[in-house]
């Protein structure tokens, strides 16, 4: 058993608490990882807020991490102690019908236990003050050591800077993949990206790499425009600056609507606007943001009858074990940006400050 620091969420709506936790050794087909760097994502905040129907407490959150394998359980062959890895919230077992189907990346092998905050055998590896602590998204990167299933680990280039590539564990990969895998943006196309946070910037990067000629960023926070333009947005607009709904503005600006739109917020009203901003006959709108529990999307069926397509994406459609090492390689060879997404670097004990920075849009 390893004793280390972890940020524990004892209950919903309360700040994280830095505690000493005990991390049990990995069982069969499990890997124990020393986490070197972790990022914070809105999904962690969503669960912490209490809005997540799958939220279990007490829990160690975090799902954008990178580290070094400390030890492996029986039967683990893909990684060994000392390997540099990124833990994966969407695993890739290679055996289930989802893994065998090229149309999806949604491996279901450990989905049920993962959703309950448990390891695949139905137990937990974290203890704090005599209490068992839940796992989160199969990763729990807000701990100096974590235990994950062996199908939830991608071995990456040992030379990669872990304080940067941890972002490929969720946000950057999600947005970039939404553009290149899910939407399959084509050269010369016109795109609209709703929400210019980390995921929205990654969508813009993907649209630019795919050759889009016009990329319109939409956000209420104008402080985000300069960064969006650095990533490839050709213009940015705020819905507050117009009297009419933003979808009508976009249809007028683009002679009938955009070819591709992306919702990167998790707001069902914006999801509708993003679809309705698409061009009749061929427009495709991708839902990237995660809406709160129980919310529903709506539009007039005529929007779809007249040739628009509504799609969703999880982790940008990447088959995780296969794709994450390649994304790291693409970053190392400067094909994709990662460093530019990092706004602040804080010590672990300032984790609550990191959440505040995220909530204030900084």
Q: Does residue 206 sit in the same domain as residue 159?
A: no
Instruction: Note the pLDDT of residue 93.
Output: 98
Helix 268-276 and helix 246-253, axial crossing angle in degrees, nearest 10: 20
Across the range 58-70, mean pLDDT stands at 98
Q: Does residue 275 sit in the same domain as residue 302?
A: yes
Q: Does residue 153 sit in the same domain as residue 136?
A: yes
Q: What is the pLDDT of residues 199-226, one digit of tens each?
A: 999 999 999 999 999 999 999 999 999 9
Q: What is the CATH number of the domain that holds 85?
A: 3.90.180.10
Name the pairing type of β-strands 214-218 and 190-194. Answer: parallel
Q: Does residue 135 sit in the same domain as residue 247?
A: no
Q: Does residue 217 sit in the same domain as residue 130?
A: no
Instruction: Note the pLDDT of residue 362.
Output: 87
Q: Does residue 145 sit in the same domain as residue 41?
A: yes
Q: Does residue 178 sit in the same domain as residue 305?
A: yes
Name the pairing type of β-strands 284-287 and 309-312. Answer: parallel
Confidence of residue 293 (pLDDT cuts 50, 70, 90): confident
- As a whole number, the mean pLDDT across the chain is 97
**Beta partners for residue 217, in sequence order:** 193, 236
Decide: 109 and 88 in contact? Cβ < 8 Å.
Answer: no
**What domain range includes position 262?**
172-314
d(CA 273, CA 181): 22
Q: Does residue 55 sit in the same domain as residue 134?
A: yes
The pTM of the full predicted model, rounded to 2 decimals, is: 0.96
d(CA 90, CA 139): 10
Q: Does residue 228 sit in the same domain as residue 268?
A: yes
Quickly tell me which residue has 């999307």 as its tokens. 297
Across the range 99-115, mean pLDDT stands at 97
Is 248 part of any domain? yes
Q: Does residue 86 sit in the same domain as residue 40?
A: yes
What is the count of structural domains for the chain? 2
Q: What is the CATH number of the domain that holds 229?
A: 3.40.50.720
Q: Does residue 234 sit in the same domain as residue 297?
A: yes
Q: Is 339 exposed, middle or buried (0-12, 13-18, 19+ CB in 10 A)?
A: exposed
Is 357 part of any domain? no
Q: Does residue 259 sit in the same domain as residue 330?
A: no
d(CA 250, CA 234): 14
């Amino acid at each position: 058993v390893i004793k280390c620091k972890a940020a524990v969420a004892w209950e919903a709506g309360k700040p994280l608490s830095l505690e000493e936790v005990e991390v049990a050794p990995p069982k069969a087909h499990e890997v124990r990882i020393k986490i070197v760097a972790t990022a914070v994502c809105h999904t962690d905040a969503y669960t912490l807020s209490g809005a997540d129907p799958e939220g279990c407490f007490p829990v160690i959150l975090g799902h954008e991490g990178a580290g070094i394998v400390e030890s492996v359980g029986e039967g683990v062959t893909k990684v060994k102690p000392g390997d540099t890895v990124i833990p994966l919230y969407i695993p890739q077992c290679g055996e289930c019908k989802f893994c065998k189907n090229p149309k999806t990346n949604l491996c279901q092998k450990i989905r049920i236990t993962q959703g309950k905050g448990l390891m695949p055998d139905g137990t937990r590896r974290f203890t704090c003050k005599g209490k068992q602590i839940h796992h989160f998204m199969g990763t729990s990167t807000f701990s100096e050591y974590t235990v994950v299933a062996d199908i939830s680990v991608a071995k990456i280039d040992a030379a990669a800077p872990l304080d940067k590539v941890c972002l490929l564990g969720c946000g950057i990969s999600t947005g970039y993949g939404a553009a290149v895998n899910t939407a399959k943006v084509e050269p010369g196309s016109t795109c609209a990206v709703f929400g210019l946070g980390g995921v929205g910037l990654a969508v813009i990067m993907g649209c630019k790499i795919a050759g889009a000629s016009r990329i319109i960023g939409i956000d209420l926070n104008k402080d985000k425009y300069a960064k969006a333009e650095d990533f490839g947005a050709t213009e940015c607009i705020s819905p507050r600056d117009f009297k009419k709904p933003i979808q009508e503005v976009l249809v007028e600006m683009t002679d009938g609507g955009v070819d591709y739109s992306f919702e990167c917020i998790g707001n069902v009203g914006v999801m509708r606007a993003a679809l309705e901003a698409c061009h009749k006959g061929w427009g495709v709108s991708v839902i990237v943001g995660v809406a709160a529990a129980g919310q529903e999307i709506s539009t007039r069926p005529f929007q779809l009858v007249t040739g628009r397509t509504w799609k969703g994406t999880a982790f940008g459609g990447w088959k995780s074990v296969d794709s994450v090492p390649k994304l790291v390689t693409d970053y190392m060879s400067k094909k994709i940006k990662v460093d530019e997404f990092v706004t602040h670097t804080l010590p672990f004990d300032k984790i609550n400050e990191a959440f505040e920075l995220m909530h204030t849009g900084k």
